[in-house]
Amino acid sequence: MVILSVDHGDVRTGVAVCDKNEMLASPVAVITERYDAVLAQKIAALVKEYKAEQIVMGLPKNMDGSLGFRAQAIMDFVPVLEAAAGVPVALRDERLSTVSAHKLLNATDTRGKKRKQTVDAVSAVLILEDYLGARKRQMNG
């Protein structure tokens, strides 16, 4: 199944997608948009373009596992996105995904403007890889 992953930020939102065999997660885009209704439409267009059957969205939990105001904003956005995209949205704990993305970009010596433009897409890839790994573990029992 093709799954689209979203790392929703205040300003930039990273998007990644996997192949239909759920083997490879790849960055797709970084969308710069502050308004959720417009952002939902832009993500819906990517769902259509990539023929995604599901969306997985990062849920920014606090380090103690509790939900803060950012997590609530994401949960409020989910029904808006589901209505726009016409596919179900699953939430995935994204704690430390941005930290891990920065570490990967450090390893590839990605700096400056290019780094700012790619970190959210890399975070979306990491969220998707984590979700795909969990799906495989669940299927293998």
pLDDT by residue (tens digit) across 18-41?
999 999 999 999 999 999 999 999
Confidence of residue 10 (pLDDT cuts 50, 70, 90): confident
Query: What single-letter DSSP state applies at residue 125?
Result: H
Q: Tell whether pTM > 0.75.
A: yes
Q: Are 58 and 123 in contact (CB under 8 A)?
A: yes
CB-facing half-sphere around the CA of 113: CA atoms within 13 A: 0
Give me the pLDDT at residue 140, please: 83
Q: Which two tokens stand for residue 62?
A: 């606090």
Q: Please tell me whether residue 124 adopts helix, strand or coil conformation.
A: helix
Question: Quick one: fold of 3-139?
Answer: Nucleotidyltransferase; domain 5 (3.30.420)
Confidence of residue 73 (pLDDT cuts 50, 70, 90): very high
In order of 33, 34, 58, 100, 111, the CA distances from 27 in angstroms are 18, 20, 15, 15, 18
Q: Are 14 and 121 in contact (CB under 8 A)?
A: yes
More confident call, 123 vs 114 = 123
Q: What is the mean pLDDT of residues 123-128?
A: 90
Q: Are 28 and 39 in contact (CB under 8 A)?
A: no
Give me the pLDDT at residue 63, please: 75
Q: Please tell me whether residue 5 adopts helix, strand or coil conformation.
A: strand
Average model confidence (pLDDT) across the chain? 86
> What are the residue boundaries of the structural domains of the chain, listed by start?
3-139
